[in-house]
Amino acid sequence: MPRAQEVVQEVLALLEPMVAPDGGSIRLAEFAPEQSRLTVDYSRGHNDACSTCVLDGDSLKAFIEEGLQTRGIELSEVTVREPS
C-alpha cells in the first residue's frame, strides 16, 4: 500500500506546522496498513503565553483521522503517543 504510506506522510507533514511554533514535533512511529493501524509519536510543545494554544493529543488524533479520511484512507486505529 505505497499510496497509503505517502498519504500518511503527507498528512503528518501538513500538521507539523501546527505544532512546530510551540516546539512540538510529530513522528511516524508505525504504519501497518494490513492491520489498519497508525501510531504517531507526539512531543507536545510549550507556550507560556497561551497554554490552550498548544495542540493536545486528542485534537491531533482527530486532525490526523480527518486528514486521512478526506484523502480516502480509513484506519480502524490511530494512536497518538505522548511521552509521560
Taking only Cα atoms into account, the Rg of the chain, rounded to an integer number of angstroms, comes to: 13
Q: Which pTM value belongs to this model?
A: 0.91
Residues in the chain: 84
- Structural domain spans, the chain: 2-81
Are residues 19 and 55 in contact, defined by beta-carbon separation less than 8 angstroms?
Answer: yes
Residues 32-81 pLDDT 10s: 999 999 999 999 998 888 878 888 999 999 999 999 999 999 999 999 99
Identify each DSSP E strand in 1-84 by its residue range.
Answer: 25-32, 37-43, 77-81
Write down the residue that cell numbers 504510506 correspond to: 5
Class of domain 2-81: alpha beta
Sign of CA dihedral 13, 17, 19, 23: positive
